Amino acid sequence: MAKKAAAKPTVASPRLKSSSLLDTRVIYCGDNLEQLKKLPDACVDLIYIDPLFNSNRNYELFWGETKEKRSFEDRHESTRAYIDYMRPRCEQLARVLKRPAAFITIWKIVFMLCR
């Protein structure tokens, strides 16, 4: 009868940080295009954006317990101007997104999930 080899103990692999490419404990503040340019390629697992819709409207809301009035204009000179504004941001988002990953955006009640 053949002798069975003793089972080798399994060694748990070391736990990796959630991202070895960037510090996920930091909130990066600033213009999104400038901040995206600082990130390395393929370093993000999920992107969720809710950009302006180019609705040609003014929006007002009352914020928090103090009901502070905040407003913004969702206007661009033209559809071409809006596309020219969004294109470089979308190019940077595509560059930093890992494959496979998820990109979720809301544009006029349209949801997109891309893999």
Report pLDDT digits (tens) over 31-49: 889 999 999 999 888 888 8
Q: How confident is the model at residue 3 (pLDDT cuts 50, 70, 90)?
A: low
Q: Could you say which DSSP state residue 101 is in? A: E
The SS3 call for residue 71 is strand
The number of helices, as runs of H, and strands, as runs of E, in the chain is 2, 5
- Distance of alpha carbon 106 from alpha carbon 67, whole angstroms: 26
What's the pLDDT score for residue 2?
56
- For the stretch 68-79, pLDDT in tens is 888 878 888 888
Element (H, E) at 79: helix 79-96
Q: Could you say which DSSP state residue 25 is in? A: T
What's the pLDDT score for residue 113?
43
Domain boundaries, the chain: 32-114
List residues bridging with 68 in a β-sheet: 63
What's the pLDDT score for residue 110?
42
73 vs 13, which has greater pLDDT? 73
Whether 93 and 49 have beta carbons less than 8 Å apart is answered as yes
The mean of the pLDDT values for the chain is 77
